[in-house]
Amino acid sequence: MLPHEAFQAWYGSHEVDLAWLEKPSRHQFRWRLPTNAWITATRQFSSPAALQKVLRNYGPRDVYIGTSAWLTPVNLPKRSDQASAPPVLIDHLVVFDIDFRPFCYRRLEQARKATQALLTWLDDNEDLSLKSISYSGGKGFHLIFTDNDRTLFSIPEPREREDAVRASRQELLQRVLQQGFPVDPTVTADTRRIIRLPGSLHGTTGWACTRITREDLGRPLKMWVATLPRHSNASKLRYFPYGPSDLFQALKPQRAKREKRKKSKQTPTQTVPQTILQCSTQVVGTKGRSSFMAWAPKRWTDTHKTAVAKRLKKLSWGPVHCFEHLGQTLLLSPRAIPKEQLAKEVANMGWPGLATEINNLGHAWVDVSPALEEEEHEQHELVHTGTLEEAGEGGAKVPWSSTHLEMLRRLGVDIDIGEDECSGRPDPALRVVSKT
């Protein structure tokens, strides 16, 4: 990530792009600081210059805008707040977000093709008007539309109106998903959703979120990627991603020296050590809290998996993110859970060894990737496949783990937790071990 001063300098000389909005002052603005603290704007902005002054002072790493237009977009009460007067929804943009992780040219080109295919399908099958296309600055693209049918926005009761719009968007989302398009299922139907603001820097890559033309989207990425704005110290867009294999590459010289010293002692039957990156379940900076991290055993039946997912949902530990590696699935929930409860629950779910380690050490070390030879790591990456839908999205009663939100970010997954409670520090405990 770029230093704080770099973000301040960027917003001191670059205005964000609000030209695609009819009334920017109807939308909520939020940004995340380099410390990972979230700020919600307490005023309305009608011009890029006014917003630029604020962003220059804060120097945020990420800047977002709400997808809904409100009569009063500041101090919005939560949907669960029944005591406050409900906000009046004026409009809701139809947004589709397509990301292909990790950040690299090959995956971004795949995201472009998928976004182009979705745009064509929507033209042929839905009554929407294209408003904007954005490159997110990271791993994909945003398609933004207005709904030509204004019927729902004439519902007089504000809560009923918002509920009806959410239900309509959910139906649209399901039609898109049924066609096989790889859109983020958490974005389209959420009237309180925020998306990255064009003209702002992506805090992880240093590339700017940029509006592009429909013609650009239809052309190969190689023909126009060089024109995309970015910070001078932005991440290089490599053809293939850097992933766990880089760590193993970096470790090769040290391992080669060790093997050379031991060569005379080794016999043909000796096993070559395998280098593994591990992450601790501990929520760093807390006393007695850990996050749920575990590899799902291959022997589990579908019935067992479903039972585990239902239990996770009942515990409000969602969302549970899934990562695939050579047919194995790593589950990670970025929630700060009391270690005693975590040990008891994982034992009942089917991870007795994990429970024992948590009870003995107060936390557990979990492989970030399965044990493999170095050559295999160079050919296979840990791939994020989404969330465990049956485990739900969690709830406010279990705080987030700042430590494991940061771990997810390093694995290419950014999560907006809004103003929810967050425990610990964004500093995951990692170690490298050798296994035989």
Q: What is the three-class DSSP state of 52?
A: helix
> 186-200 pLDDT, tens per residue?
899 999 999 999 999
Instruction: Report residue 402's pLDDT band, with 50, 70 and 90 as the boundaries.
Output: very high
> 231-259 pLDDT, tens per residue?
999 999 988 765 555 545 545 555 555 55
Residue 372: per-residue pLDDT: 44
Distance CA 400, CA 406 (A): 11
* Token code pair at residue 123: 């033209």
Who wins on pLDDT, 51 or 238?
A: 51
Q: What is the three-class DSSP state of 148?
A: coil
- Bridge-based pairing of strands 38-40 and 29-32 is antiparallel
Pick the CATH number of 4-227 from 3.40.50.300, 2.40.30.10, 3.90.920.10, 3.30.70.20: 3.90.920.10
Residue 313: per-residue pLDDT: 94
Question: Among 45, 43, 42, which residue's Cα sits nearest to residue 24?
Answer: 45
Share of the chain above pLDDT 90, in %: 72
Lowest mean pLDDT among 11-15, 96-100, 330-334, 396-400: 396-400
- According to DSSP, the residues that pair with 365 across neighbouring strands are 280
Residues 279-284 have a mean pLDDT of 96
> 120-145 pLDDT, tens per residue?
999 999 999 999 999 999 999 999 99
> 331-379 pLDDT, tens per residue?
999 999 999 999 999 999 999 999 999 999 999 999 986 544 433 444 4
Instruction: Report residue 327's pLDDT band, with 50, 70 and 90 as the boundaries.
Output: confident
Print burial letters for 72-89: b (CB count within 10 Å at least 16), e (below 16): ebeebeeeeeeeeebbeb
Instruction: Report residue 47's pLDDT band, with 50, 70 and 90 as the boundaries.
Output: very high
Instruction: Report residue 25's pLDDT band, with 50, 70 and 90 as the boundaries.
Output: very high
- The residues spanned by each domain of the chain are 4-227, 248-435
> 413-429 pLDDT, tens per residue?
888 787 788 999 998 99
With 70 as the cut, is the pLDDT of residue 263 above it?
no
Question: Among 320, 317, 280, 278, which residue's Cα sits nearest to residue 296?
Answer: 320
Amino acid at 352: P
> 67-103 pLDDT, tens per residue?
999 999 999 998 888 899 999 999 999 999 999 988 9
Residue 373: per-residue pLDDT: 41
Edge-to-edge strand ranges of the sheet holding 62-66:
38-40, 29-32, 62-66, 194-196
Q: How far is CA 332 from CA 83, 249, 321, in A?
A: 35, 26, 5
Q: Are 93 and 144 in contact (CB under 8 A)?
A: yes
Residue 239: per-residue pLDDT: 85
With 60 as the cut, is the pLDDT of residue 295 above it?
yes
Residue 73: per-residue pLDDT: 97
